[in-house]
Structure 1
Amino acid sequence: MSDSHFARQLQREVRQRRTFGIISHPDAGKTTLTEKFLLFGGAIQQAGAVKAKKATRHARSDWMKVEQDRGISVTSSVMKFEYGDCELNLLDTPGHQDFSEDTYRVLTAVDSALMVIDSVKGVESQTEKLMQVCRMRSIPIMTFINKLDRDGREPLELLDEIEDKLGIQAVPMTWPIGMGKRFQGVYDLINGELRFFETAENKGARPREATVVKDLESEELDRLLGETAANELREDVELLSGAGYPFDHEAYLAGKQTPVFFGSAVNNFGVQELLDNFVRLAPAPKAREAETRMVAPEEPEFSGVVFKIQANMDPDHRDRIAFMRICSGKFERGMRVRHHRLKKNMQLGNAIIFMARDRAGAEEAWPGDIVGLPNHGTLKIGDTLTSKEELKFLGIPNFAPEFFQRVILKNPLKSKQLEKGLAQLAEEGAIQFFRPITGREFILGAIGALQFDITAGRLKTEYGVEATYEPVQIYAVRWVESENKKQLQEVRKKYHNSLVEDAQGAPALFFPTRWRLEKAEEDWPEVRFTHVKEH
């Protein structure tokens, strides 16, 4: 293939791709919407039962046993599917507040996000946290206000709340007609079309074609909606045209404005309009920052970054998969690449692509695609692989945990299995662990307290280790860094009994109280006590 032909193909493949994450508070309907996307994309024929604590079929994206038991998503799944002329890579992120570390990490691998909001509950705390991460990276966000088939908050009130709590302009692209039992459909504000809601007879199937009415002033509108609802719609549309923001594509791409769609994912209503607009408006893969320069996706040389490790996706094989985002060039099965952290070459012979738990061999992949690499400990989060130039991609954070427990091993003969299990679970971001310099115990740290239960369960089922916990008096942990080596040495000496190493061997300090942390920061101004560490 000539260079010019390859360059044209590369540009075409990049333009066709959309790599995005879905973020939400628990129970907003994220997993339902994910399945409906797969349904409309032809990736599945029937959506699974999502609210299924007793059901035999669980959501396609919830493959881990604890997710099925609890009815929540605790890991991040990757699903690839086609829609129209586009290749979509959907990263289904955990919505539960106790699994935000993995969510943060996944948001470093996407080019845009889709935010799902429950029309009954509005903007909730976890959504605010996730929005902060998106804002840090100026990720474009599209919003779907879900569950219009239930009686919920007023649409204008929801728009105001998005703007007040999330600090982003909310621009409605569709507008609901009633809600709950009075919900009749939505008005497409961009195309001037009315789409009427009908409850799908089979919620797992595609809906029938919607009726379309072009003229908002027509008498037919009164006949179809009833005079009261028709007049309310006319008043709302007039109010929005006078007081609302006009949609600005550049503001959306800059993360300053979010287009808002209304619908009911469980009834398939509004999902197709959302998808149609998403592939039209959402960005294709963008340039990514490395230590030395920005790397454009259209560059011919291959590069990729590992953003996630998942152990034991297949319990029968005890596997470990490194998730790599292609950043530039073309991936081909069997290609040789340079592993820059280890400074050695390696062959990528058994890469896979994902459809939730299902897998297929990846013969080729392009920028924006996510591939899985079987991993035996050689790949870690943040590793950069390239075909040529030495690069180190940035922007994959490790956040300081907020909860701490000491591990108590029930059977001391299982200490090696415990260490192996914790190392692998820490590597995938499920938990963090720290080892005091002065002892051999393990202190676990988590972003959310429920992670301790998850870790204990996985240690038992995946590694045959039974462990319990006991509380420890720790207010915070901070990694310590400084260009002033003398001060750093003095800090390590003064706080020797509080000095620990994380799973990667990086030095950190435990502080029992907020006052001790602030005192250390005051006493050692040239030392950084940081709560975020770059992988």
Structure 2
Amino acid sequence: MSLIDEVNKRRTFAIISHPDAGKTTLTEKLLLYGGAIHLAGSVKARKTAKHAVSDWMEIEKQRGISVTSSVLQFDYEGHHINILDTPGHQDFSEDTYRTLMAADSAVMLIDVAKGVEEQTKKLFRVCRERQIPIFTFVNKIDRFGRNPFDLMDEIENILGIRAYPMNWPLGINGNYEGIYDRTTSSIELFAKDMNHGQQKLASAKGSADDPAFKALLSDDVHRSLVDDIELLDAAGDEFDLKKVKNGTLTPMFFGSAMTNFGVKLFLEKFLELAPKPQPRKTKEGSVEPTSEQFTSFIFKIQANMNPQHHDRIVFMRICSGKFEKGMTVTHRQSGKPVRLMQPQQFLATERTMIDEAWPGDIIGVFDSSSLGVGDTLYDGKRQVTFADFPTFPAELFARIRAKDSLKRKQFLKGMTQLAQEGAVQIYENPGSMESYIVGAVGQLQFEVLEYRLLHEYGVTLEMNRLPYSVARWIYSETKDYKELKNIDSAMVVKDHKQRTVLLITNEWQANWIVERNPDFIFCQRPDELPLEDN
């Protein structure tokens, strides 16, 4: 196939939601219907001992939550699909944001009983800022839920995006029996699920006008369907693919990931409507996916995917050109050549070695420590620089060290690798070689850090929380940080690029320090610093 043909068949998307909306379960069922797996796992594993493929870390299996993004790839009906399953918990928002940078569209999951929740709003805003097309899947309609019209109103009023239902649930008051497909005017009735969603759900499908199907519906359900569709057709938005692609209209689907209710219909319609790989902005302009020049950026690093070998995998999004095994590219940040060896694609931790890949694909390569999150790789003489990823400001801080001084080497290695992943923010405290200052967005990040250092590096931590909630990067053209005034209650630390950071008790204290140091620039994120110090 030509480069253009390969680009056209790719679909790369992220799945976002509030915690416990069923995001990882939906991912699992897309794999099931796509033929990538033959038996779907349960995230919480109440009815089965099989865990979800995308929750591959031991701590994810134990807690039933996703704490890191997963990459899953498979082929379906002429499409090559790259799914990015993101953590839903707000403590891992930075990982989710980086993952969204690698996606061309997003699937937003909403719980039918809870509607638009707080974390959904935050993730939606990130998608809106990047003008990512958004597809909505209203999940858990096998349970009692809210009226579909109320959910449409909530999406439109709270998120500010119009919704166009592609299908409509058949039933009354949350007791649903099937789905009406608006695009084909057909009804699909689902059999009772007795295997807890582990296998594809049997269904019967036919025209809404077929007397045989009308007979299977009660008079009340049939009358409700007719009334709802008439109202949607008369008062609802018209479908406009241009509005979908610019992020102002979201196609809306109803279903249940747990029981596979409506999943196949969603998958097929999504692949039909979702965008192919899109152009990417760079500091030099933009890169078209059909350009012959190979370009990519690193959005994720994962240490110890194989605990026995303590490997370090760099995940990159290919933006243009053809990738070939063993090719040598330029690492933009260092200017040095890098040979990309042992390239692989993933089904979570299951790996397949590949010889080539194309724009839109997510691939992993082995790396010792030279590459970092946000770095650009390209071939040819034309320089390319993809924009840096913003850093979320930490709000919790702690001093950590290894309890056993004999484990210092493992402690330093573990902290270095986990910092490169972006699992936590790590600062050096001048004058202390035995401990680090760690910043986190939420408490769960500390718990994951402690768990991973113990189980992946054999290090037991001693952790002491610090009384700070604000970090400020500082810069001055003429003065040294030692000339800062009134910082007795703050702590001076260095980030991983040796930039000076002040840890401050609260916002009021931060404003007080800023007012008394007019010769310094104070920034909430390092990417806000002047270029020469960034």
CA distance 1:9–1:492, change in 2 (3 Å): farther
Q: Distance in 1 between matches of 2:526 and 2:129?
A: 13
How much has 1:223 moved relative to structure 2?
Answer: 2.4
Match for 1:189 among 174, 182, 186?
A: 182
How much has 1:430 moved relative to structure 2?
Answer: 1.1
Deviations 1:159-187 (A, max 9, x none): 11222222221221111112677311121
SS of residue matched to 2:74: strand
Q: Distance in 2 between matches of 1:297 and 1:507?
A: 38
Q: Distance in 1 between matches of 2:521 and 2:16?
A: 35
Match for 1:513 among 487, 498, 506?
A: 506
How much has 1:436 moved relative to structure 2?
Answer: 2.8
Residues 190 and 203 in structure 2, CA contact (< 8 A), matched pair in contact too: no
SS of residue matched to 1:396: coil
Deviations 1:480-504 (A, max 9, x none): 35xx612676875775963321123
SS of residue matched to 1:485: coil
Match of residue 463 from structure 2: 469
How much has 1:468 moved relative to structure 2?
Answer: 2.6
Q: Distance in 1 between matches of 2:392 and 2:524?
A: 9
SS of residue matched to 1:413: helix
Q: Distance in 1 between matches of 2:259 and 2:172?
A: 14
Match for 1:261 among 244, 249, 253?
A: 253
Alignment of 1:222-301 (within 5 A): 222-301=214-293
Deviations 1:357-389 (A, max 9, x none): 100112100001011111100111111111112
Further displaced range: 494-503 or 106-115: 494-503
CA distance 1:387–1:234, change in 2 (3 Å): same
CA distance 1:225–1:54, change in 2 (3 Å): closer
Match of residue 103 from structure 1: 96
How much has 1:197 moved relative to structure 2?
Answer: 2.4
SS of residue matched to 2:459: coil
Match for 2:441 among 444, 447, 452?
A: 447
Match for 1:149 among 135, 142, 151?
A: 142
Match for 1:34 among 27, 34, 47?
A: 27
Are residues 1:502 and 2:495 paired?
yes
How many residue pairs are counted as aligned between the two chains?
Answer: 524
How much has 1:142 moved relative to structure 2?
Answer: 0.3
Match of residue 68 from structure 2: 75
TM-score, normalised via structure 1 length: 0.93
CA distance 1:281–1:346, change in 2 (3 Å): same
Residues 53 and 70 in structure 1, CA contact (< 8 A), matched pair in contact too: no
Match of residue 531 from structure 2: none
Are residues 1:212 and 2:218 paired?
no
Match for 2:317 among 300, 308, 325?
A: 325
Residues 31 and 59 in structure 1, CA contact (< 8 A), matched pair in contact too: yes
Q: Distance in 1 between matches of 2:312 and 2:111?
A: 35
Whichever residue aligns with residue 312 of structure 2, its letter is R
Are residues 1:425 and 2:418 paired?
yes
Q: Tell me, which stretches of 5 or more residues in structure 2 are unaligned?
A: 529-533
SS of residue matched to 2:183: coil
SS of residue matched to 1:161: helix
Are residues 1:90 and 2:105 paired?
no
CA distance 1:221–1:338, change in 2 (3 Å): same
SS of residue matched to 2:221: helix
Deviations 1:73-105 (A, max 9, x none): 111110110111110000111112222221111
Are residues 1:65 and 2:50 paired?
no
Match of residue 403 from structure 1: 396
TM-score, normalised via structure 2 length: 0.93
SS of residue matched to 2:2: helix
Residues 189 and 203 in structure 2, CA contact (< 8 A), matched pair in contact too: no
How much has 1:476 moved relative to structure 2?
Answer: 0.8
Residues 91 and 443 in structure 2, CA contact (< 8 A), matched pair in contact too: yes
Deviations 1:283-340 (A, max 9, x none): 1111111111101110001111111100000101101100011111000001111112
Q: Tell me, which stretches of 5 or more residues in structure 1 are unaligned?
A: 1-7
Are residues 1:387 and 2:379 paired?
yes
Match for 2:305 among 302, 313, 322?
A: 313
Further displaced range: 306-315 or 232-241: 232-241
Are residues 1:136 and 2:134 paired?
no
Whichever residue aligns with residue 37 of structure 1, its letter is L
Residues 143 and 261 in structure 1, CA contact (< 8 A), matched pair in contact too: yes
CA distance 1:509–1:110, change in 2 (3 Å): same
SS of residue matched to 2:298: strand
Residues 390 and 525 in structure 2, CA contact (< 8 A), matched pair in contact too: no
Q: Distance in 2 between matches of 1:267 and 1:512?
A: 48
SS of residue matched to 1:454: helix
Alignment of 1:17-56 (within 5 A): 17-52=10-45, 56=49
